[in-house]
Amino acid sequence: YVAGNRRGTAPEELVSEGPFAIGLEWKDEVESARRLKGDTEASSRQPKRLTEFRKRARSELGAAGAPALAAKTEQLRERWVRDQLVGAGRSRAASVGWPDAYAFTKALGEQALTESKGNVPVSIVRPSIIESAWAEPRPGWIRGFRMAEPVIISYARGLLKEFPGVPEGTIDVIPVDIVVAAIIAVAAAGPDNAPAITQVASGGINPLKYRTLVNHVSSWFTENPLYDNDGQPIVVPEWRFPGRGKVQTQLSRAKTAIERAEHTMQMLPLRGRQAEFAATLETRRLEVERALEYVELYGLYTECEAIYQVDNLMKLWDEMPDTDREAFCFDPRVIDWTHYVHEIHLPSIIEHARVKSTPGKVKTADRTTRLRGQVLDPKRQVAAFDLENTLIASNVVESYSWLATRRLDGRERLKYVARTLAEAPGLLRMDRRDRTDFLRHFYRRYADAPVEQIDTDVEAMLTGLVVSKCFPEGIRRVRAHRAAGHRTILITGALSFNVAGLRPLFDEIVAAEMTVRPDGTLSGEMTTVPPTGEARAQILADYCDAENLRLDECVAYADSSSDLPLFEAVGFPVAVNPETRLASIARKRGWLVEHWSKAKGGPRNLLPIGPLLSEREQRRQFP
């Protein structure tokens, strides 16, 4: 494909010396590409673009903390630079008659090599699309990437229903062992006898037509289908041959629709299995993006109508003795395409891709059991737990509301509920934007509360709210870690006095601390940074350093993408009832996901307010 997007015969000669040369100079192209890279790097650092990258990073990670957002922002910037350069390379290649930058730069490389080789004798070997071996070292062998594999597997899975191409066109495929034998033959001929350029291709002497290949693939997967996760055979679609532009437009529209649905789902307060369902949208989007990439990357090759001549190759073959022919076969005419596709190439693709080719449901339970076994292995050293929506179905707003309303009469309670409901959307936005800022803002409400009253009411809240909203499976998991000899540590943004009743469960509790005024009332101000986001990862790291323990032998349980720094710090992350962003991340990274719920039959209060006390108790004064 170094010959470019030409129709008809493509002889074994330098493109720069052929009849279709347009006067390109490889040095000019290299210099231009270098300037473009510098300009693109500079453009990626413009304030407007950096703001957009950071906005996208926050959309993907939520309140994951400054270091995680910074790393994601930089990753998005680098990806943007890469995508811009890839697009520019494709555009430049297309503008001068090549299918992509890969083939274009090979042509420039040939030109550069020829001009700079000096007196060193050089022979160039040009293979077409290299695929599975015909015979050596064994049928179907290849190391590394098979060009056609992603498209074939996507079709077999039912993800790709159509692909551009010319049905009567030639797909120039050549087995890897024929290429290797040809290279050896050219090298053996020596600098005096070897051709300057030798093309190793099948299209000019033993063509495989695109429609023939498609029919072979379709019939093979009809007889040997892949299976979905439910164990049902996947029926391959009838292949159509639309134009490349039509397929790209359809896939781009599908991608846009899925992205909008993803954005909507992320805005909803979904958790657990509902959030996991929303995360499947990302899987579908990635499938569409891959299909779009395949069309952009391979579409021009399936539409190429160049026929690569192999005159020099066959001259070498004719001059070889019979004994060498047996040991080094590079004659493309030996390939029986029906046998090759059905008996060699497709079976080797299935083996290499490790796709599901047998009936029966995927045993996901086995994987979950295996991951649970890993986190409870006695080799683990520390189990760190978040609290809210990880061990209990509650949050700091509910805790405060329970305490704040405990000594209010009915009318004051109604006012409090109405005021809190009106503030809820703003509080939710603030929490999603930055967890630490939200806690500082919200905890101001504790200002002037008598410490003695708080201590009294917190004891009642332990049974009235915390125990009734706890996840029994979560509590059992804490005890299982202790039984396995692991240290247990609770790291929570909740106030220390609100979680004091949980101390018997943990070796250590790290919680938010509030200063106390000389008159015995709370100030509403924190003594230190609340343990959220990246602070949790640092707390656990410091704890491990102090106790001579290893972070990679720690387990972390949490529910939010704001805990991503903690998850990335430990060796065994566990997402519990994950919100949408974390469900998506856990799915991609293969983390253990647990779905814990409250005990059945417990109280189901509509509003998180404390029980109505007697009038005497409401008026009780605390010093």
Distance CA 611, CA 588 (A): 44
Mean per-residue pLDDT over the chain, rounded: 86
What confidence score (pLDDT) does residue 246 get?
A: 66
Share of the chain above pLDDT 70, in %: 89
**Domain identity same for 329 and 460:** no
* Segment 355-361 mean pLDDT: 76
Tell me which residue range forms the domain holding 500: 370-602
252 with 174: CB under 8 angstroms? Answer: no
Pairing of strands 306-308, 382-385: unpaired
Residue 272 has pLDDT above 70, yes or no: no
* Segment 14-39 mean pLDDT: 87
Residue 535 included in any domain: yes
**Domain identity same for 390 and 347:** no
Distance CA 296, CA 495 (A): 54
Residue 477 has pLDDT above 70, yes or no: yes
What confidence score (pLDDT) does residue 363 get?
A: 60
DSSP for 426-459, please give it. HHHHHHHH-HHHHHHHHHGGGTT-BHHHHHHHHH
111-115, 202-206, 282-286, 419-423 — which is least confidently predicted? Answer: 282-286
Per-position b or e across 394-410, b if 16+ CB within 10 A of its CB:
bbbbbbbbbbbbbbbee
**Domain identity same for 425 and 453:** yes
Residue 283 has pLDDT above 80, yes or no: no
Residue 49 included in any domain: no
**Domain identity same for 323 and 387:** no
Distance CA 56, CA 79 (A): 12
Q: Is the pTM of this model over 0.85?
A: no
If one compares 606 and 239, the residue with the highest pLDDT of the two is: 239
Residue 70 half-sphere exposure, CB side, CA atoms within 13 Å?
A: 5
Count of CB atoms within 10 A of residue 153's CB?
19
Residue 339 has pLDDT above 60, yes or no: yes
SS (H, E, C) 101-140: HHHHHHHHHHHHHHHHCCCCCCCEEEECEEECCCCCCCCC
Pairing of strands 514-516, 522-526: antiparallel
**Domain identity same for 263 and 342:** yes
If one compares 305 and 543, the residue with the highest pLDDT of the two is: 543
**Domain identity same for 592 and 521:** yes
**Domain identity same for 392 and 276:** no
DSSP for 296-363, please give it. HHHHHHHH--EEE--HHHHHHHHHS-HHHHHHS---GGG--HHHIIIIIIHHHHHHHHT---S-S---
Question: Of 353, 383, 398, at which residue does a domain stop?
Answer: 353
Q: Angle of helix 272-303 relative to helix 580-589, nearest 10 degrees?
A: 60
Residue 243 included in any domain: yes
**Domain identity same for 375 and 340:** no
User: Can you read off the two tokens belonging to residue 580?
Assistant: 């949408």
350 with 357: CB under 8 angstroms? Answer: yes
* Segment 335-364 mean pLDDT: 84
> How many domains are there within the chain?
2
Distance CA 357, CA 65 (A): 43
**Confidence class of residue 278 from pLDDT cuts 50, 70 and 90?**
low
What confidence score (pLDDT) does residue 113 get?
A: 92
Residue 617 has pLDDT above 70, yes or no: no
**Domain identity same for 130 and 192:** yes
Residue 79 has pLDDT above 90, yes or no: yes
563 alpha-carbon distance from chain centroid: 18
62-71, 143-152, 181-190, 403-412 — which is least confidently predicted? Answer: 143-152
Residue 244 has pLDDT above 80, yes or no: no
Question: Of 353, 385, 414, at which residue does a domain stop?
Answer: 353
Residue 329 has pLDDT above 90, yes or no: yes
What confidence score (pLDDT) does residue 445 get?
A: 92
What confidence score (pLDDT) does residue 242 get?
A: 66
* Segment 443-471 mean pLDDT: 88
**Domain identity same for 339 and 378:** no
What confidence score (pLDDT) does residue 366 get?
A: 74
Share of the chain above pLDDT 90, in %: 45
**Domain identity same for 555 and 593:** yes
Residue 138 has pLDDT above 90, yes or no: yes
